[in-house]
Structure 1
Amino acid sequence: MFSTLLIPLLFQALLLPLATAAPIGGLIIPKINPAKILCQMPLVEKFLCPAGGLNGLSRATVFGTASGVVDADGAYRYPVKYATSSRWAPSTLVSAWNLPNGSNNVSALPLACPQPDVPSTAYTEDCLSMVLYVPQSLTLNSNAPVLVWLHGGSFVVGSATATGLDGSKLAQATNSIVAVVQYRLGALGFLAPNGNTNLAVKDVVNALEFIKRAAPAFGGSASKVTLAGQSAGATMIRALLSAPSASSLFRSTILQSDPMNFGHLRPATHTALLNKFKELTGCSSQSCQNGLSISSILAAQKTVYDSAPSLDPAAGNAQPIRPVLDGTFITTPLDISSTFPSVSKPLLVTSVSNEATYAIYDIFRDPIPEEYFPDICAATFGEERTTTVISSPFYQPSPGSIVDGEVDARAQLAILGTDYLWKCSGWTFARAWVQHGGNAFVGQYVVGATYPGNEQVPLCTQSDVICHQDDIQIVFGTVSNPTSAQSALITEVQQRYKAFLNNGNPNVAGLPNWAPATTTDVHSIRLGGTGEAPIGACDPTFWGSTVDYDYQYYN
């Protein structure tokens, strides 16, 4: 019988020939991962592969050895660069495991992608990185699901290290690998002067390719990948659902607070924004474009963003720089403006109860007299649609909208914006998804945690007002000093996510039943409350029919 002291020598002898790449027919064949193969053998795993790797934090991947640290909340954390790119060129999957930022410090987190209103030292153009959070309990045989999180920020701000996105607690609660991914933003990701479209979306495809190849080395399953994202991150996922070539890289999705009122940009709208950007930069040659400073790119980007509705109303006000229905990569609008394709992936669609409150009360700092409500609506909807809105029973003054004895129309506008951009358009999407073959589960957060920055609108700090982004720290379990209601919801959501990641269904024994959506009733549960969210204006005979969504109205 072999002595256990001889096993390391045998292991080393077997590794050397397997780990050498060799040229075959002029091609370089990537290194085989012998550690993965041998660590699947029970005897080898027992003695040489604790915690699923070669030794603790060190993992042998197809890209090379990965080194990590123990996150403050207990999971193993691995920052890594997943792709490289030249300016305004498609990104390329890496061939080796490298830390972000050109760093040798394994504990250093990635710098963000270039964006406005942050110091230049906080970002880098070489920003295609992710952070992996791996439960310490996983072994190479765990076959654990992978949750890939895409951050929001209207496609112009945000990063994998934004507040609340430490995936350690979420990874451990769901017993899954959590990958928080960043992608090129703004003009660098969507307004390439050379005509390359959807560069940022294709960055995420490379991130998914990287995860598919690397996940098994950490105990993850390449076939059990769920995409999750909030706001623009959810819009990004909707773009990937519209791209047939990306379909095999994930099996389910979670869309949180996706402003589904906005469809993918049509080519003509994208061209209008791109032409303005090129005009502002004054560059037509490749050499000139490559020589532009980041500050000049961001300045031109801001002007395009701010002026987008005047360039083409179909761009909208909220996130005008976004994925493009280019017809080759993104091939379907995936909305009710045209034929909806056959679908099969399970999805979760959630919103928060007061999505538009921050925006409305931040723009209008003082109460708005009721007589101004029609004019403000008309500026957004046009006269014909405004007539339908103001005559409906859904947006009349309520007792809660009385301030100093006068009606404050901001309350009506907040409800209107929530319904139009998020809640009702999301419900319409869920109905269409179910009608064409998929399963959908719909929910609305009625408990949340005030996201940093939202306190600028005092109303968003009230416990019964859940503003845009207030679901993020609930999902990740990163709420500081949570209340009992927040703690209960964190536990519930993470249990439901764990079930969904494993089998595409968020129902868990001991929790209230979450009925799947149907073509007539989406059964939107109240997350943090009881029962189902009221339908209100989200009947398909109103939004999407009597009053068109922007993707119908403009396109």
Structure 2
Amino acid sequence: MVALNYLTAFLWLVTFAAASPIPDVDRRGPFGPIRFPQIDPRGLLCKLPFIRIICPRGGSSNPTCSTPIGTARGVVDPDGANRYSVKYANANRWQPSTVATTWSLPNGSTNITALPLACPQVNADASSVSEDCLSMILYVPATLHVGSNAPTFVWIHGGSFFVGSANGPGLDGSKLAIATNSIVAVIQYRLGALGFMAPDGKTNLAVGDAINALKFLKNVVPSFGGSTSKITIAGQSAGATMVRALLAAPSASSLFKNAILHSDPMDFGFLSTTAQQNMQSHFNTEINCGATDTACHNALSLSTITDASLELFSSAASFEPSAGMSQPMRPVRDGSLITSSLDSASFPSMSKPVLINTVVNDAGPAIYGNFDEPMGEQMFQAVVFGTLGEDRGDTILSSTHYPLPPTVNGQLDARPTLETMGTDQMWKCPSWTFARNYIQNGGTAYIGVYSVGATYPSNDGVSFCAQNGVVCHEDDIQIVFGTTNSPTAAQSSLTTEVHKRYKAFMNNGNPNPSGVSAWSAATSSNLNAKDLGGSSAIPIGACDPSFWGAAVPYDYQVYP
């Protein structure tokens, strides 16, 4: 029974790719405490004077900018950029959103220092969330002005499409904006059932939200000095899955130039319409509303909806295996908005340059966050078979790719092997397969692996993630944003390098500015994976197409 319980826990863990842990009703889950949006008091401290350069401004330290939809009012962020919070779209419950036509502060606020309330999510305090949550935060260098032709960097937060917000830890875009001379926009979108489980069967509402955020930006960034032809979308974990969904949506193609994906859990593809319908039926039963009973839908309390959303999140894989356990509510290949699966079975012609990044220990929090004691061979075999099934499990165990480490003081600990396998299965190998398919269909792709990171708050309780040389899932976020607290020399160096590379990529689709080592584009014969933070060659290992994807199929191949 103990082995079975550990197996059940592992099935949750090894497939977990969310940017936040899965909660339960007592605010804890098998991955640790859930992280919720925090009200950021930085705006109250924004009293610093600055020079009038960007746009006409109101008095003292409050920047203003005239846009086609009204006057934008902001504050000076403590790290130097001008910060504007704004509502980008409107949406009624379980209806498609529409782009905002007037410049409005989020949530009906009159306080320009206020940051957006998060979208409704489990266990969040009622005062910290709102259904009126389709907002973004803009960070604009004070040196920009109309005609600057600056790029825009759009960040889509992770959280398993279940939790998260634009106010997440480390997502202050001020330093990134100044270092790259770009406008940084951090957006949020509807989560969980409110974003993906409309009772009447409408799909991809949250994807539509992200598209409307891009449309909004197209309209307003010229007023802040931005170019409408240099918009780069980027995201981490579920945010990267959203980026991939936008790459697969023809209607979004004209809205951005380049894309950056950080630790996209590509092992599971987009949901099929059949899987979506199966999950939808289950959800409708939970809320006890008919598909077309809008009066019932609108009468539901947020707590009822989020409770039903949690129940679906927790149970979906038990009745719909293709849903998986990491982000079962996710974009749907509906044939209208999303027309391609973007996997080895369906890949259209591609043209946009992409950066495809993972970290060296993406599975670290999942494995070591649950198994806090050494794992013996018997348990290792149990979780491999339980996760992959008999055929794929046999192939893994008989291969030379995942040898067990040597016994130390008479004790075997298989967790390092399991962590490597989990990272390969969910993140590294499917991402590299995606890159091969992308370039074979006309696109340009650069592959990166972060070997230096900064421990993200959600990983603080995982001792493995604190070890030297370990970079866990999410540990690249603060490197990208330049928000690492008291960075080491290695962290500062990598942040400077990443800012240079991302600035070049945003401007011309190539992450190779002068003064840094060459980052070669992937080819059909050599992926040229770049060690971000070191100089080592990144080995292909098990990520050869003859192993993962063939001998050991990805889950999107097992559950098409």
Asked if the contact 2:405/2:414 (under 8 Å) is kept, the reply is no
Instruction: State the superposition RMSD in angstroms.
Output: 1.1
- Equivalent of residue 460 in structure 2, options 451, 455, 472: 455
- Partners of 2:458 and 2:170 in 1: how far apart? 12
Q: Which residue of structure 2 lines up, in the alignment, with residue 52 of structure 1?
A: 54
- Partners of 2:463 and 2:250 in 1: how far apart? 44
Is there any run of 5+ residues in structure 1 with no aligned partner, and where?
1-48
Code of the residue aligned with 1:206 in structure 2: it is N
Deviations 1:296-316 (A, max 9, x none): 111111111111111111111
Aligned-residue offset at 1:375: 1.6
Code of the residue aligned with 2:68 in structure 1: it is V
- Partners of 1:417 and 1:550 in 2: how far apart? 13
- Partners of 1:418 and 1:224 in 2: how far apart? 32
Q: Which residue of structure 1 lines up, in the alignment, with residue 374 of structure 2?
A: 367
Asked if the contact 1:449/1:486 (under 8 Å) is kept, the reply is yes
* Aligned counterparts, 1:186-265, within 5 A: 186-265=192-271
- Equivalent of residue 178 in structure 2, options 169, 172, 181: 172
- Equivalent of residue 434 in structure 1, options 420, 430, 439: 439
- Equivalent of residue 117 in structure 2, options 108, 111, 115: 111
> What SS is found at the alignment partner of 2:557?
helix
- Partners of 1:532 and 1:506 in 2: how far apart? 18
- Equivalent of residue 329 in structure 2, options 318, 321, 324: 321
Code of the residue aligned with 1:116 in structure 2: it is V
User: Against the structure 1 CA distance between its residues 473 and 403, is the aligned structure 2 distance closer, same or farther, given a 3 Å change threshold?
Assistant: farther
- Partners of 2:150 and 2:118 in 1: how far apart? 28
- Partners of 1:453 and 1:240 in 2: how far apart? 27
Structure 1 residue 291 and structure 2 residue 296: aligned? no
* Aligned counterparts, 1:503-542, within 5 A: 503-542=508-547
Asked if the contact 1:89/1:199 (under 8 Å) is kept, the reply is yes
- Partners of 1:301 and 1:410 in 2: how far apart? 32
Q: Which residue of structure 2 lines up, in the alignment, with residue 24 of structure 1?
A: none
Code of the residue aligned with 2:513 in structure 1: it is V
Aligned-residue offset at 1:159: 0.3
Q: Which residue of structure 2 lines up, in the alignment, with residue 407 of structure 1?
A: 412
Asked if the contact 2:261/2:356 (under 8 Å) is kept, the reply is yes
Aligned-residue offset at 1:502: 0.4
Code of the residue aligned with 1:276 in structure 2: it is H
Q: Which residue of structure 1 lines up, in the alignment, with residue 401 of structure 2?
A: 394
> What SS is found at the alignment partner of 2:351?
coil
Q: Which residue of structure 2 lines up, in the alignment, with residue 347 of structure 1?
A: 354
- Greater shift in the superposed pair: 343-352 or 280-289: 280-289
Aligned-residue offset at 1:368: 1.6
- Partners of 1:554 and 1:96 in 2: how far apart? 44
Aligned-residue offset at 1:462: 1.3
- Partners of 2:243 and 2:333 in 1: how far apart? 14
- Partners of 1:437 and 1:430 in 2: how far apart? 11
- Partners of 1:403 and 1:158 in 2: how far apart? 41
Asked if the contact 2:88/2:134 (under 8 Å) is kept, the reply is yes
Structure 1 residue 330 and structure 2 residue 332: aligned? no
Structure 1 residue 376 and structure 2 residue 378: aligned? no
Structure 1 residue 548 and structure 2 residue 553: aligned? yes
Aligned-residue offset at 1:112: 0.4
Deviations 1:225-251 (A, max 9, x none): 000000000000100111101100001
> What SS is found at the alignment partner of 1:529?
coil
Asked if the contact 1:234/1:258 (under 8 Å) is kept, the reply is yes
- Equivalent of residue 473 in structure 1, options 478, 482, 500: 478
Q: Which residue of structure 1 lines up, in the alignment, with residue 492 of structure 2?
A: 487
Asked if the contact 2:405/2:413 (under 8 Å) is kept, the reply is no
Deviations 1:89-136 (A, max 9, x none): 000111110000211010110010001132121111100000000001
> What SS is found at the alignment partner of 1:407?
coil
Asked if the contact 1:79/1:129 (under 8 Å) is kept, the reply is yes
Q: Which residue of structure 2 lines up, in the alignment, with residue 41 of structure 1?
A: none
Aligned-residue offset at 1:404: 4.8
User: Against the structure 1 CA distance between its residues 177 and 71, is the aligned structure 2 distance closer, same or farther, given a 3 Å change threshold?
Assistant: same
Asked if the contact 1:228/1:234 (under 8 Å) is kept, the reply is yes
**Structure with larger Rg:** 1
Aligned-residue offset at 1:270: 0.9
Q: Which residue of structure 2 lines up, in the alignment, with residue 302 of structure 1?
A: 310
Is there any run of 5+ residues in structure 2 with no aligned partner, and where?
1-50
> What SS is found at the alignment partner of 1:442?
strand
Aligned-residue offset at 1:189: 0.1
> What SS is found at the alignment partner of 1:66?
strand
Aligned-residue offset at 1:50: 4.3
- Partners of 1:469 and 1:352 in 2: how far apart? 8
Deviations 1:470-513 (A, max 9, x none): 00000000000000000000000011000000000001212111
TM-score (normalizing by structure 1): 0.90
Code of the residue aligned with 1:53 in structure 2: it is C
Q: Which residue of structure 1 lines up, in the alignment, with residue 167 of structure 2?
A: 161
Asked if the contact 1:50/1:139 (under 8 Å) is kept, the reply is no
TM-score (normalizing by structure 2): 0.89
Code of the residue aligned with 1:253 in structure 2: it is A
* Aligned counterparts, 1:61-80, within 5 A: 61-80=67-86
- Partners of 2:363 and 2:141 in 1: how far apart? 36
Asked if the contact 1:351/1:443 (under 8 Å) is kept, the reply is yes
Aligned-residue offset at 1:409: 1.7
Aligned-residue offset at 1:55: 2.8
User: Against the structure 1 CA distance between its residues 454 and 404, is the aligned structure 2 distance closer, same or farther, given a 3 Å change threshold?
Assistant: farther
Structure 1 residue 84 and structure 2 residue 98: aligned? no
Asked if the contact 1:150/1:234 (under 8 Å) is kept, the reply is yes
* Aligned counterparts, 1:268-283, within 5 A: 268-283=274-289
> What SS is found at the alignment partner of 1:210?
helix
Asked if the contact 1:190/1:321 (under 8 Å) is kept, the reply is yes
Asked if the contact 1:489/1:527 (under 8 Å) is kept, the reply is yes
- Partners of 1:87 and 1:55 in 2: how far apart? 36
Structure 1 residue 425 and structure 2 residue 433: aligned? no
> What SS is found at the alignment partner of 1:382?
helix
User: Against the structure 1 CA distance between its residues 62 and 404, is the aligned structure 2 distance closer, same or farther, given a 3 Å change threshold?
Assistant: farther
- Partners of 1:384 and 1:397 in 2: how far apart? 19
Deviations 1:192-224 (A, max 9, x none): 001111000000111000000000000001110
Aligned-residue offset at 1:433: 0.5
> What SS is found at the alignment partner of 2:136?
strand
Code of the residue aligned with 2:394 in structure 1: it is T
